[in-house]
Amino acid sequence: PQHTHHHHMPDQPPPSKIARTGPVMGPGGGSQMGMAGPSNVAGPSNMSQMPAPAPRPRGPKLKFTPEDDQLLVDLKENKALTWKQIADFFPGRSSGTLQVRYCTKLKAKTTQWTDETVLRLRNAMVEYEQDRWRLIAAKVGNGFSPAACKEKAKEL
């Protein structure tokens, strides 16, 4: 009787192994089961294939929707919450991720040109133009004025 009992043991694992590989390889909910540990039982061959099908697509899918952005700005600017508090509203995102999103994507968009900033740009360009010719004249030497250098440069 002990022998038949022993004979039964090796028969047991293969069916359970097959049952396990099913959900592990399958997309969706099963793949999460595979991550928990059963995939270890199924053997290393499964492990090496695991990372590709399941976790990778999961990452990029966490895109910020316009609603996310709206909420993020609202919580930061109107509710004046800390990044840690804001992170509670976004499961799966760290406060760091949210901060980067806020600073790079959202704040970049809101820099609109005003009359004042356009004026500052114009002035900066004029000043740069003058400085540029002053520096060039200094390099040329021999008493040539910035204006003379600018004129001569047009002929070059």
On whether the CB atoms of residues 20 and 38 are closer than 8 A, the answer is yes
- Extract the runs of DSSP E, i.e. beta strands, from 56-135: none
Using CA atoms, how far residue 64 sits from 5, 36, 151, in Å, is 58, 28, 53
pLDDT value, residue 153: 93
Q: For residues 72 and 85, is the Cβ–Cβ distance under 8 A?
A: no
Mean pLDDT across the stretch 108-121?
Answer: 79
* Alpha carbon distance 74, 61 (integer Å): 23
Average pLDDT on 16-26 reads: 52
pLDDT for the residue numbered 65:
86
Minimum mean pLDDT range among 43-57, 58-72, 90-104, 141-155: 43-57
pLDDT band at 155 (very low <50, low <70, confident <90, very high): very high
For 136-150, the pLDDT digits (tens) are 999 999 999 999 999
Residue 71: C-alpha distances to residues 79, 86, 89, 102 (Å): 10, 9, 9, 11
DSSP 76: I
Separate counts of helices (H) and strands (E) for the chain: 12, 0
Residue 10 binned pLDDT confidence (cut-offs 50, 70, 90) = low
113 pLDDT above the threshold of 80: no
If one counts every other C-beta atom within 10 angstroms of the C-beta of residue 39, the result is 23
Percent of the chain with pLDDT over 70: 57
